[in-house]
Chain A
Amino acid sequence: MKQGPFDRGAIDIAWCPGCGNFAILNALKAALTQLGISPEQIVIASGIGQAAKMPHYVRTNVFNGLHGRAIPAATAIKAANPGLTVIAEGGDGDMYGEGGNHFIHAIRRNPDITAIIHNNMVYGLTKGQASPTSSLGFKTPVQVGGVTEEPFNAMAVAIALNASFVARAFAGDVDQTRDIIKAAISHRGFSIVEILQPCVSFNKVNTFQWFKENSGYVEDSYDPSDRSAAFNRAAEGGKMALGICYVNSERSCFEETLSPYSEDSTPLFKRDVDMAKLARLVDSKRQA
């Protein structure tokens, strides 16, 4: 097979055979290739979990940090060097459970990064406990009587908070997933892509077939700029909407609001401290 710019060659991959992550990996690499961004200019930050191993399988810069903390790291990477394309990637437990606070505040902060969140409605790496998105009644070795907590509806939360870009994809459809990732990366602002994905080892309820039957793309006439309609669609039961659910291009992104970049886009590492100015600051302490 021809080596693509983001292929790492023959490496050991820690995912189970048949895992939806393989399809997401292919969709991501295809999206990055089609966008024509060079691997040196991309950083994929991730947390912990099977989904968070993704950056190790893509030939690019990697910040594989702590469980739940990909978004703050990614936000700062982008703020330190706005020229980079920055992606934060992880699973539903990583992003919605451990990192839920960062997810919420990143929507408010609106950094120009893309969050790719694999949602398989179960904890894989810790072997089958409930995740924040597990369905009511879902039985696990810990939730022995079934899940009693309302599943976290990230799409509805994101739209309620007026997120900049909210989309959902299905790992079973690599081409659409690729295109949605491309649109998310191209969007200026915080872009959320939740990817529905079966877990072949630990989720025997939400299978490939289940996702096929319980999700569907938004119709051609769907207007992703209509926030109320988007919220209603995200909040109502029934089939989970796939596609670009909500876009708000009006919001300024975090880096644009930072004063170091108001007149100069030079990344921080190429700047020097103005020591004469600092000496003047010290001198200013002579007078009230």
Chain B
Amino acid sequence: MPPAVVGKNGDISVVLCGEAGQGIQTVEQILTQLLKSSGYSIFGTKEYMSRVRGGSNSTQIRVSSHRVCSPVDRIDILIPFDTKALEHVRGRIRADTVIIGGKKELFPAGGADHFNCIDIPLSEIASQVGGAMYMNTVGSGVIAGLFSVDRQRLDDFVAAFFGDSSESVIEKNRDAAARGYDAAIKIIEDGRIRLDVSANPEVENDILMNGADAVGIGAIAGGCDFVASYPMSPSTAVLVFLAFHGDEFGIVVEQAEDEIAAMNMTLGAWYAGARALVTTSGGGFALMEEAVGLAGMIETPAVIHLAQRPGPATGLPTRTEQGDLQLAMYSGHGEFPRIILTPGSLEDAVYLTHRAFNRADKYQVTAFILTDQYFMDSYYNLPSVDVSGLRTVRHIVETDETYQRYFLSEDGISPRGIPGFGTGLVAVDSDEHDENGHITEDLDLRIAMVDKRLKKSAALENDTVPPELIGKDDYSILAVGWGSTYHVIKEALTVIGRDDISFLHFKQVCPLHRSTVEYLKRARVTAVVEGNATGQFANLIKLRTGFDVHHRILKYNGLQYTVEEVVGRLSKII
């Protein structure tokens, strides 16, 4: 039998699938780092159930000769940890998908012959090592072997990875990895499998991170020195990141008793001169909405990282969606301006989160960073993120005795003093207030204050991140997206390979950049691709520009688009 040749254009999709608690995440952590350091470009993403044990979770790792940043349906190599796992991804198994695992373990009732299955009994090997708990490390060893990772590098990596465990656990994991590795080498030597992918020494020194890391790095670059949040998937990873680096960067980190406290703490912190972040998800953010209005009224800056997941209510806690654009857009009662940034790439997440802090401070508004579960949990490598040019710009003034927090200035932006800095007093009030920040029911002053707050919109519109056009200027078809779909739509267009289709990606959706309508009008056909059921961004475009996009390509099953899916759905309308 000739060897199964795995890979397409130097790109291999590996999927590992097992129960929560079987260590799929450990495998992901080991393999993404190990393969990247061995010169492969990596993209890793996972989908998981809302449970600590059981169920079926999967992680996809694309291992490639060139940079890859988006998920694919295709599975080239599948490593199922149990029979349930096989069922979980059944619909994605194709004739050429190589399944690696114990035939008897995976097909107890027979039927392995219907699949392209190479027998490596992961469970049995793990038992020989010391128990089922080592199955994930055996699996890591298999993948490392298949991709010809240096054996010593694997051993060193595994030893370091489990470094905090007992000596015996470290040894058993090393043994498990080695046995998996040897099993993989054997199937290559036996001519069972051949991988069509090559390492590139240039990427060995790349950085590898996920969306949560990128938002966290951007926050620190923006001067974030305070974070108060309440844990909620999928936003917690940013809180964890900032807590991990809190001592290093002097960040006050507090797990609040609820989201209401978290958001009110955020405003108290900014009021007193800190640069605070709150990280949350839909349901938690819903609890913060009253304080979003408070931020609007007292013109205290705030930065909110809103990692979306499918709602309403608890929805699908561990899944992804772009369903909270409207929520962010209209959150808080009353009328006041805001900024909504929607990073599509890891670089975007760093730079836009940094920007959120500076712009929130400058315009005394709330700046949202809208991500989602997919974005938080997905990894890829990139040459670098240059933070050297980033500055924390503080827009606070030292007050004097004549200081008025809400001085009616020309552009609506009153110099922001903070208590204890200068000889003036700083009063802010959730009631309508006078220029001194004290409660008023003077209805003429009410008009002046509303106008003052809304005047900031004009300044915000002049300081908006323009959409990025990918493709030629003289397109006839324009795909439009925002936020986390950036890479997947970009890759889909590469796959389609037509030069009359371009892609317009929005990194800021509020205020909407004024070039938007021109881009749309130039196309014969426009299609918004977004991860919700109603076309929230398409609606926003209509509201702001009057333009009706021709097609809405929507998805709301809790999973991110795959490249094939975008290709398929775009192909239908072009």
Give chain A interface residues in 99-117, CB to chain B under 8 Å. Answer: 101-102, 104-105, 109
Interface residues on A, range: 35 or more
Whether A283 and B257, one on each chain, are in contact in the complex, defined by CB atoms closer than 8 angstroms, is: no
> Which of A42, A81, A260, A286 is within 8 Å of B206, CB to CB?
A286
Known: A105-B257, A260-B250, A281-B220. A269 touches B419 (CB 8 A): no
Whether A288 and B217, one on each chain, are in contact in the complex, defined by CB atoms closer than 8 angstroms, is: no
Q: Bits for B150-184, please: 1 = Cβ < 8 Å to A, else 0.
A: 00000001001100000000000000000000000
Whether A66 and B217, one on each chain, are in contact in the complex, defined by CB atoms closer than 8 angstroms, is: no
A128 within 8 A of B: no
Whether A268 and B387, one on each chain, are in contact in the complex, defined by CB atoms closer than 8 angstroms, is: no
Residues in B with CB closer than 8 Å to A267 are: 272-273, 420
B474 within 8 A of A: no
A45 within 8 A of B: yes
Whether A74 and B427, one on each chain, are in contact in the complex, defined by CB atoms closer than 8 angstroms, is: no
A10 within 8 A of B: no
Whether B425 and A268, one on each chain, are in contact in the complex, defined by CB atoms closer than 8 angstroms, is: no
Whether A56 and B430, one on each chain, are in contact in the complex, defined by CB atoms closer than 8 angstroms, is: no
Whether A278 and B269, one on each chain, are in contact in the complex, defined by CB atoms closer than 8 angstroms, is: no
A272 within 8 A of B: yes
A134 within 8 A of B: no
Whether A285 and B161, one on each chain, are in contact in the complex, defined by CB atoms closer than 8 angstroms, is: no
B444 within 8 A of A: no
Q: Bits for B209-228, please: 1 = Cβ < 8 Å to A, else 0.
A: 10001000100110101101
CA separation between A81 and B267, bound complex, in Å?
Answer: 13
| Interface 9-mer from B190-198, B303-311, B388-396 | B388-396
CA separation between A81 and B252, bound complex, in Å?
Answer: 11
Residues in B with CB closer than 8 Å to A66 are: 264, 290-291, 294, 430
> Which of B257, B267, B420, B431 is within 8 Å of A102, CB to CB?
B257
Q: Bits for A25-62, please: 1 = Cβ < 8 Å to B, else 0.
A: 00000000000000111110100100001011001111
**Min CB–CB distance B35 → chain A (angstroms):** 11
> Which of A53, A61, A109 is within 8 Å of B427, CB to CB?
A61
Whether B160 and A288, one on each chain, are in contact in the complex, defined by CB atoms closer than 8 angstroms, is: yes
CA separation between A84 and B157, bound complex, in Å?
Answer: 49
B492 within 8 A of A: no
Residues in B with CB closer than 8 Å to A264 are: 250
Residues in B with CB closer than 8 Å to A62 are: 425-429, 437-438
| Interface 9-mer from B241-249, B323-331, B451-459 | B241-249
Known: A72-B265, A80-B274, A102-B261. A41 touches B250 (CB 8 A): no
Known: A69-B260, A105-B261. A79 touches B249 (CB 8 A): no
Whether B225 and A260, one on each chain, are in contact in the complex, defined by CB atoms closer than 8 angstroms, is: yes
A76 within 8 A of B: yes
A274 within 8 A of B: yes
B254 within 8 A of A: yes
CA separation between A79 and B264, bound complex, in Å?
Answer: 13
Whether B420 and A281, one on each chain, are in contact in the complex, defined by CB atoms closer than 8 angstroms, is: no
Known: A64-B428, A282-B217, A285-B207. A274 touches B265 (CB 8 A): no
Known: A102-B261, A281-B217, A285-B208. A76 touches B276 (CB 8 A): yes
Closest to A262 in B: B247
Known: A62-B438, A64-B439, A101-B257. A269 touches B264 (CB 8 A): no
Known: A269-B272, A281-B245, A286-B206. A65 touches B430 (CB 8 A): yes
Give chain B interface residues in 253-287, CB to chain A under 8 Å. Answer: 254, 256-258, 260-262, 264-269, 271-276
Residues in A with CB closer than 8 Å to B220 are: 273, 278, 281
Besides A73-B267, A76-B266, A268-B225, 8 other A-B contacts (C-beta < 8 A):
A69-B260, A101-B260, A101-B261, A259-B246, A267-B273, A269-B274, A288-B33, A288-B37
Give me the interface of B with A, judged by CB distance under 8 Å: 33-34, 37, 157, 160-161, 205-209, 213, 217, 220-221, 223, 225-226, 228, 245-252, 254, 256-258, 260-262, 264-269, 271-276, 290-291, 294, 298, 384-385, 387-388, 390, 392, 394, 396, 418-431, 437-439
Closest 4 CB pairs of A and B: A269-B273, A76-B268, A73-B268, A62-B427
Q: Offer 28 A-B interface pairs, CB within 8 angstroms, sorted by A.
A: A40-B423, A40-B425, A42-B419, A43-B419, A59-B425, A61-B425, A65-B267, A65-B291, A66-B430, A69-B261, A69-B264, A72-B228, A76-B265, A76-B267, A76-B274, A79-B269, A84-B272, A84-B420, A101-B261, A105-B257, A268-B273, A268-B274, A268-B275, A272-B223, A278-B220, A281-B245, A283-B207, A288-B33
